[in-house]
Structure 1
Amino acid sequence: MAAVLRRWMDGLAGNDTATLAGLMDPSLVHVDPQGAAHRRDAVLEAMRAIPAGTAMTVTVEDVSLRRFGDTAVAVGLTRLSVDHPGGRAVRRYRFTDVFVRRPAGWRIVSTHTSAVAEAAP
């Protein structure tokens, strides 16, 4: 299960929509930091719309991965660094990802991302 989570994070960092699509269940729902819910096709479309020349680095820490039979829940903290033609943006997010084991392997069925405020100096 840890290897599947790593493939998911690497796919996000590399904007590898083929890998991401292969890991996403058709029923996937992603809730973004603003609280909007997006279905699988909308998530993939948004990933494909990221401009060429945009580099992303995803650092994952504080991960808890728990299995409940054919379901697994990952909770962790990500640091997303995005380098684009206009500069660099760095954000931290708390995530919850839910995976279900299907006949073809583990698939992600739900994701939720919340922005983490930076501590005041």
Structure 2
Amino acid sequence: MPMDSIDESKVTVYGACFCCFNGLNLENIEIGCAAKETLLCLEWDFCLKSNTEKLRCFCLDIRIVPVTVCIKQQGQMCCLVSAAAIPPDAEVPMMLSVCFLVCFPKFGFFKKISEVKG
């Protein structure tokens, strides 16, 4: 199972437009950056964050995976988080939000992704 150095459940949604979102992780601010991207069957991870396990090539890992999405991207730099997925999935759910006001799928202000997903 591939590692995931970005915990979306702790991300407070700032803005979202159906297949992508931007947010803040204010619970666990870490120094560094991480990214995970998938294009059909090719997936790569990059991680230079504190308190995470090293990847196969120190900070980089590339692998072939079963096709589950067309395109998927997740990234984090300190407390800033962004993600996109076509089609949306469990980690990048379909949402609509502006300036911390979530309008879809649940209405609310200053909500975490885990609260929006239900």
**Shorter-chain-normalised TM-score: which range?**
under 0.3
TM-score by length of 2: 0.27
TM-score by length of 1: 0.27
| Greater share of residues in strand | 1
- Greater relative contact order structure (CA < 8 Å, 6+ sep): 2
| Greater share of residues in helix | 1
